Chain A
Amino acid sequence: MKFRIHRFNPETDAKPYMQDVELDIEPSKMVRDALIRIKAKDETLAFRHSCGEGVCGSDAINVNGTNALGCLTRLSSLQEPIEIRPVPGMPIIRDLIVDMEQFYHHYRAVKPYLIRHDPEPEVEYRQTPQQRDKLDGLYECILCGCCSTSCPSFWWNPDKFRGPAALLQAWRFLADSRDQATDERLRELDGPYRLFRCHTIMNCVTVCPKGLNPTKAINEIKKLMLKEMI
């Protein structure tokens, strides 16, 4: 199979280039398997990967123009030559590895943890099954960054717009019946940038390897904001 792989070593290369690679590999394998085999031949190739089953979220890459997890993208589903690039819009550290700091900064900024103002209960926090159901489709996010790095609004204002991944997590805690920081969370997200740069382009929904819907979460935040405003 034919591959074209984005290569850049800041210590030796003046600018990035695409490297053509031919590899004998079964089409039933995943892109990650191909990268591992290519690395076995040329150990200078750098890419992130870990669990190999779409749980750790380390191997987000851009395959034939679409963000995806290398470990969940079957080679047979792709047209040759298979172009593998780092996810767009992020500073490139080397080859397929990008600097995710900006992404994590936004994740930290939405305070992705329960905030309680009442004293801790003697027993565990209780939730009804219906309250728990509201977290489905939100808690599954593995923070691979496929969504945020495919979002044009995030490319345009990466330092100010929180991005779909962080906003999905913002809604995950706003929707949680145990959380008591609704006002603070909403206030933090108001303004023209943090939440309202979303123009429902929905690239995030298209690329999410876990099948989640950040656009819906963003709309839920807007609805809650409207409700709180009136």
Chain B
Amino acid sequence: MSWRAHGMRAWVLQRFSAAYIAVYVLVILVYLVPNLPMNFLQWREIFAAPVMNIATLLFQIALLAHAWVGIRDIIIDYVHPVPLRLVLMTGMSLLQIILTVWVSMLMFSVVRL
């Protein structure tokens, strides 16, 4: 994806990821929150199920895409000096990638195949 092509594609990505995030959060609210507080074993039981495991991984990826477009929008609006913009965008991308790797490691470590 080129920088220029990031208009429509980014917009679509943000909307689709928002829809997925909304559904995931709803599911969590309905199935997980009523069982709180839960211990680690109970938590692992829920996230070890492949469906929940993959859904959570997808959630993190959707969050990555959604936040990337959103924060990029804020940076484009408010941060005009190019070097500062580059630093912020790179920092933000790194943080997002680290979070995604971390969530992936968590999910891979508990999945029951």
Contacts and interface: CB of A to CB of B under 8 A. Distances in A.
A193 B73 CA distance: 10
A76 interface: no
Interface string B62-77: 0000000000110011
Name which of B5, B7, B72, B78 has the most chain A CB atoms within 10 A of its CB: B7
Given A156-B78, A197-B77, A226 B12 contact: yes
A157 B4 contact: no
A196 interface: yes
B8 A229 contact: yes
B40 interface: no
A201 B78 CA distance: 16
B8 A225 contact: yes
A196 B8 CA distance: 8
Given A196-B10, A196-B11, A222-B11, A191 B4 contact: yes
Interface string A152-179: 0100110000000000000000000000
Nearest to B8: A225
Contacts of A225: 8
A45 interface: no
A195 B76 contact: no
B6 interface: yes
Q: Is the interface of A mostly helix, strand, loop or mixed?
A: loop
A129 B91 CA distance: 54
A151 to B, nearest CB: 12
A192 interface: yes
A72 B73 CA distance: 36
Contacts of A26: none
A117 interface: no
Contacts of A191: 3-7
Interface in B1-21: 3-12
A222 B10 CA distance: 12
B12 A192 contact: no
